[in-house]
Amino acid sequence: MRPTIRNLMENTFQLDIISLTRPAFSGKVESVTVPGSEGEMTVLKNHIPLITPLASGEVVIRQGKEVTHMAISRGFLIVEKDKATLMVDSAERLEELDEVKIRQAKVYAEKLLTENKFKDDREFADATAALEKSIAHLQVLKRHRSRHKGSLPSSDSM
């Protein structure tokens, strides 16, 4: 039996990804795989209600044959009846990631952390979060570079 549009729609749920700076994604999806704080997890339609922290890493969104890859910085996943919401510090699609800028941010965050001259705990937390974000985004780029040799620009090492 061939799947029909109605069958496909019955297996979907609403996904919204909201970052601190902008709504990053909104649409009906079949699944979303997220970097949970305890490991990767996939949400499908009719998932149990849930609120869980997210780690920085890759989000994979499946809509029929279309797959969207995003890099996120930590946040929370909220799953309700037919809706999942990711509230994250940042979210960028794979094609939006700029490796040069990410590497520069990583070097800057590492420098801040090694100099250890923070006015308060907030500055230390911000520098740590920036380093975590840049490492996670570089890992996403590296993973996709190895899967799609030649289709993503490459740099020395991560």
Residues 102-125 pLDDT 10s: 999 899 888 888 887 777 888 888
Residue 86 token pair? 């990711």
H/E element, 130: helix 121-147
Tokens 């993973």 sit on residue: 143
Residues in the chain: 158
In the predicted model, residues of the chain with pLDDT beneath 70 are 1-9, 146-158
What's CA 92's distance to the chain center, in Å? 7
- In eight-state DSSP terms, residue 98 is -
Q: So what's the pLDDT on residue 157?
A: 43
At position 106, the amino acid (one-letter code) is: K
Q: So what's the pLDDT on residue 142?
A: 87
CA-nearest of 38, 22, 33 to 68 is 33
